[in-house]
A and B are shown apart, each in its own frame.
Chain A
Amino acid sequence: MRANKPMLSPIRLHKDLSAIWDTRPGLQRLASVNHTTLGKRFIVTAIVFFAIGGGLAMLIRAQLATSQSAFMEAGLYAQIFTMHGTVMMFLFAIPLFEGFAIYLLPKLVGARDFAFPRLTAYSYWCYLFGGSMLIVGMLAGVAPDSGWFMYTPLSSRTYMPGINADLWLLGITFVEISAICTAVEIAVSVLKVRAPGMSLDRMPIFAWYMLIVAFMMLVGFPPLILGSILLEVERAFDLPFFDPKRGGDPLLWQHLFWLFGHPEVYIIFLPAAGLVSTFLPVFAGRPLAGYIAVVIAVIAMGFLSFGLWVHHMYATGIPHLGLSFFAAASVLVAVPTAVQIFAWIATLAHGTPRFSLPMLYVFGMFFVFVIGGLTGVMLAIVPFNLQAHDTHFVVAHLHYVLIGGFVLPMIGAAYYWLPHITGRRPSRVMSNIGFWTIFAGFNVTFLAMHLTGLKGMPRRVHTYLPEYGWEALNFLSSFGSFIMAIGFAIAALDLLLIVRFAPRSTRNPWKAATLEWAMPIPPPSYNFASLPKIFRRADTLEPSTMAAELAGGMGYLAFTRNGQMETLGVEMVGGNTEQVIVLPRQTYLPLITAATTGVFFLLMLFKFYWLALVAIPLVVICFLFWTRDTGLRADVGPVPIGHGIVAPYHSESADAPSSWAMAFTLVADAMLYASLLFGGLFLWASAPNWPPAELPALGVVLPIGVVAAALAAMASGILALRNVGGAVSIPALALCAACHAIALACLFTLAVTGIPSFTQHALSAVIMVVIIYLAAHHAMGVVFALFGVARMISGKVSARRTLDLRIGNQWHLYTAGANFIGVLFMVGLIAIAGTGAAP
């Protein structure tokens, strides 16, 4: 093995690594799994969607510039503003920060790639396909038109019979799959795939931000995914979750939407703040002040952001005392935000600030975001909110928050990392003009708009009468918005010119102290020719010296082995070397799988429901193909990583990234489930027309049968793992599959016999969805059990290589728990519904 040979020359090492890691040219680019490549693709695609969303904004402003405008009629205007919000939120903001995180994180924490490169690629394709669905729909004239928060019953089939709303629900859910995948990817990779010695408290601050954001996404996105599923099911199959005549409730949608929607604002803000916390210290010439205070503040924002969603619903008639709780949480979130802002000020105060382009954008962010934060506090105040809610005051506020808290810092970050991404140095003049044009245009547009709102202009009106006195203000806003658009065009052109023509940059042009600069720029596909050992906080390093050492092969893994892509996995908290992670090579599988997933969504969209049902197993089969290249056929034992240290391959490790990925996926899954159960209880407590005329009758035998079968499946999974390598193991897993099948049969019988027509009342509809949820888990349980059998037969499982069985067991355990809770929930809900209406 090469590992034991003397050190390779840097050039030889570069060639060897490039041969393995580089994305191949031509059409083989579609097979890329490289985080640098995919990060750039995310960023560029997001910028394209930003241009589309910006164009839509211009149409909106053109319409509102004068009273009684005849430019667009109401229906078209509704499509335009719905798409503007949808594109900017789901297709621009989230993917843009994901792109930066994907590009930067492995480099910042000293790894060669993320833990699951193919998942990153799958995530990109889902985003691209889902986003394209929406844009194609818009060009075909059937864009969603119920507003970007899709309130029911306006978005229900009765009032929106076309496919416009389906396009939103399916397209956005497709894109959300991408977000969930990225969240799992980021959480696992930050926790497990870092340079040796990088303990949690030595991580660069951006890794902390993204770790917290990833968890927020895992918890925050499932409520919206569930809401979208329920609404799509209502539209497609008439299950009345949101129809008040049949025990549903439009308010359920609002709760699910804002349970996602408010954390979403922080999910967008925090990554941008994390990038500022990374580059602001470079220009201050000293490390970030209050590292621990900032981490605590970010965690606090993460928690509090989940307690604010009702402040979007003050006018719905919730009791004042209840509102006050949410008002308090909404106001108090200003405290950790202030800690964050003053940590930046403290860093500047104790440094020697240098003026530069990224810092100009930081100035813009301070100016704009502070105003947005202050109007946010105002809107949290209940009486004021009741006046300002749903007016242009809110439109102005949210643009101050999102442009100040996201767009401006992201452009600053783009200028900062541009030398890294392109190897070229930004120029000054045009960039400055771009900034000031955006800044002036923005404030003219949106400062005036606060007043427009206070003067009573509601959101989403396509026309207004001259005597309302809104015309001058609206004209000013429209004028400003075109200035702003010109500014964005200048900035875009500037970036393009830099990418194309700017002079080459020196390495580490800003004199940064973080790891991503300890490599040539633009970066090689493998990032680091050898992996560093970290001895102190990773924002106080000397990348210039490290770059030469690492390229010279003085770190770990300074060799290639069997043509494998290798990086190191560490013990989560302490950062000690734990395993050698072998990453998958370039493959078309993510593209094929995403395309198959897309086929499912298209079949749903065009109402081929039975065919869509067939597409689901096809997606599962695609994913099963992913496992062909993974795992070892024999025990290998620890392998050398250089410097006389050895570590096992990840498939032999007791703590491989994939089992964490399963754990985090189950967190998101559990949130989806919890949202569903909350939905059922909420309908019982809040919806009119309860109880239903006819109650579902589950009986005793079938529910007990389901729980017993699920427990037996779990037990046989554990038995198989205990006896791995023995004779009992394969039969035990076969039994596990059989138990899942029995549970599936019980649930099917229950659905057919126990549930009176589920289109009649929301109670039956909710129970039906719980049953389908459990059934889907048992079906996947069969897949996991049989997969374990296949892996054992093919020799990929041994007493040392139990990863596949452990992942399966996580699933069996979760399924058993979900069944237990599900049966209790169903029986309980029917019982309390039977006793009459809620208090």
Chain B
Amino acid sequence: MFPMFAAAGVSGCSGDLSTLSPAGPVAGSIATLWWVMAAGAALIFLIVMVLFLLVWLRPNFGRSFSQRAWILGGGLAFPIPLLVPLLVYSFQQGEILLHIGGPTETPVRIEARARMWQWEFIYLDEDTAPSTVGVLHIPAGALVKVTATSEDVIHSFWVPRLSGKVDAIPGHRARVRFLANTPNTYRGACAEFCGSGHAGMLFSVQVHKPEDYARLIKAARDTSLRASLAQVHP
């Protein structure tokens, strides 16, 4: 059972690190947020540049509004109605993402333990707390809560196609919750500069069908996983 566990982690890393091809609801809603903001920003940029060039090249156009109207209109009336809804919406979205799954659903609890320069994932729901290095196994469609911490310097746990990042800080335990829609393998990277191995501090996330995951974990529970870590993923 165990070799399969490992082999799957090495091969078949489909997909990339793009936040724009989300594979779960958390990354999905942030990608949507980006497209909305990008469209809005492009529009605002065009308006400002057109106004700037108009007042420069067509002097009579600019004089049709008083100076006060320009400053109050452009400085207050223009940005505030755009910014306030954006803030309210993003706060709401942040709350939803933060509490995704609601209070009732019990998440799969994982500890992501970073060290120079590898990731160890500990499956906290199991009595023996088995762990894997370099590859994180999760069930598809289930809420996952990753608690990140570090044994040395600051790292950052990031699986762009599934969710935003969370810093792994020595002495702290920060959390992130996300879901993966379908079984697949996704890439993860360390996002915080952590020394000369930073670029190579990669990992993968294997999303399994729930029944496969249960089988894997059961096998892992019975095996002394920790002992053979080094052979799995150097």
Contacts and interface: CB of A to CB of B under 8 A. Distances in A.
B53 to A, nearest CB: 8
B12 interface: no
A455 B16 contact: yes
Nearest to B116: A159
B57 to A, nearest CB: 8
A153 interface: yes
B152 A383 contact: no
A469 B16 contact: yes
Interface residues of A, number: 85
| Most chain A beta-carbon neighbours within 10 Å: one of B63, B71, B76, B192 | B71
B164 A377 contact: no
Interface in B44-78: 44-45, 48-49, 51-52, 55-56, 59, 61-63, 65, 67-68, 70-71, 73-76, 78
Nearest to B199: A461
A245 B97 CA distance: 32
Nearest to B194: A154
Given A74-B197, A350-B63, A353-B59, A345 B175 contact: no
A297 B17 contact: no
B10 interface: no
B76 A455 contact: no
Contacts of B169: 250-251, 316-317
Contacts of A251: 169, 172
A463 interface: yes
Interface stretch (A208-216, A268-276, A327-335): A327-335
A455 B19 contact: yes
A462 interface: yes
Given A456-B17, A463-B199, A348 B44 contact: no
Given A353-B56, A455-B19, A463-B199, A154 B164 contact: no
Nearest to B53: A363
B123 interface: no
B193 A387 contact: no
| Most chain B beta-carbon neighbours within 10 Å: one of A349, A370, A377, A385 | A349
Contact of B166 (A290, A315, A460): A315
Contact of A461 (B30, B44, B172, B198): B198
Contact of A289 (B16, B71, B187): B71
B71 A346 contact: yes
A159 B90 contact: no
A443 B54 CA distance: 22
Given A250-B169, A320-B95, A455-B17, A383 B70 contact: no
B188 to A, nearest CB: 10
Nearest to B18: A455
Interface stretch (B80-88, B137-145, B226-234): B80-88
A390 B74 contact: no
A345 B191 contact: no
Contacts of A323: 94
Contact of B171 (A388, A389, A687): A687
A461 B169 CA distance: 19
Nearest to B202: A465
A659 interface: no
Contacts, number: 251
B105 to A, nearest CB: 19
Nearest to A457: B17
Is the interface on chain B under 10, 10 to 19, 20 to 34, or 35 or more residues?
A: 35 or more
Interface stretch (A336-344, A548-556, A707-715): A336-344
B192 A151 contact: yes
B171 to A, nearest CB: 3
Interface string A689-707: 1000000000000000000
B94 A324 contact: yes
Given A455-B18, A456-B16, A384 B90 contact: yes
Nearest to B13: A467
Interface stretch (B1-9, B153-161, B213-221): B153-161
B79 interface: yes
Contacts of B197: 74
Contacts of B194: 154
B101 interface: no
A460 B193 contact: yes
Contacts of A456: 16-19, 160, 187, 189
Contact of A454 (B19, B55, B171): B19
B170 A458 contact: no
A401 to B, nearest CB: 14
A807 interface: no
A389 B30 CA distance: 13
B17 A383 contact: no
A159 B189 contact: no
Contacts of B124: none
Nearest to A336: B75
Contacts of A688: 171-172
Tell me the interface secondary structure of chain A in the complex. helix
B210 interface: no
A454 to B, nearest CB: 5
A159 B175 CA distance: 25
A293 B76 CA distance: 11
B74 A341 contact: yes
A76 to B, nearest CB: 9
A151 B193 CA distance: 9
A349 B55 contact: yes
Nearest to B44: A374
A458 B68 CA distance: 44
A316 B116 CA distance: 18
Given A342-B70, A346-B71, A383 B33 contact: yes
B29 interface: yes
Given A289-B71, A348-B55, A381-B37, A334 B79 contact: yes
| Most chain B beta-carbon neighbours within 10 Å: one of A153, A297, A456, A463 | A456
A458 B158 contact: yes
A107 B76 CA distance: 34
A316 B156 CA distance: 9
A383 B74 contact: no
Interface in A774-827: none
Interface in A430-458: 454-458
Contacts of A73: 196
Contacts of A390: 156, 165, 191-193
B49 A366 contact: yes
Contact of B30 (A154, A387, A391): A387
Interface string A68-79: 000001110010
Interface in A116-157: 146-147, 151, 153-154
Contact of A349 (B63, B90, B152, B158): B63
A86 B86 CA distance: 34
B80 A335 contact: yes
A454 B175 CA distance: 22
Interface string A634-670: 0000000000000000000000000000000000000
Nearest to A286: B67
A682 interface: no
B190 interface: yes
Given A250-B154, A327-B91, A338-B79, A345 B199 contact: no
Given A153-B152, A381-B90, A467 B16 contact: yes
| Complex A-B, nearest 8 residue pairs according to Cβ-Cβ distance, in ascending order | A386-B164, A349-B62, A244-B171, A317-B174, A456-B17, A342-B74, A339-B75, A346-B70
26 contacts: A74-B196, A74-B197, A151-B193, A154-B195, A159-B152, A159-B153, A250-B154, A293-B71, A317-B166, A327-B87, A328-B87, A339-B74, A340-B75, A348-B55, A349-B62, A366-B49, A371-B41, A377-B41, A381-B90, A383-B33, A384-B30, A387-B164, A388-B19, A389-B164, A456-B160, A687-B171
Interface of B: 16-20, 27, 29-30, 33-34, 37-38, 41, 44-45, 48-49, 51-52, 55-56, 59, 61-63, 65, 67-68, 70-71, 73-76, 78-80, 83, 86-87, 90-91, 93-95, 97-98, 116, 152-154, 156, 158, 160, 163-167, 169-175, 187, 189-199
Given A366-B52, A468-B17, 5 more contacts: A151-B192, A154-B195, A328-B87, A370-B48, A456-B189
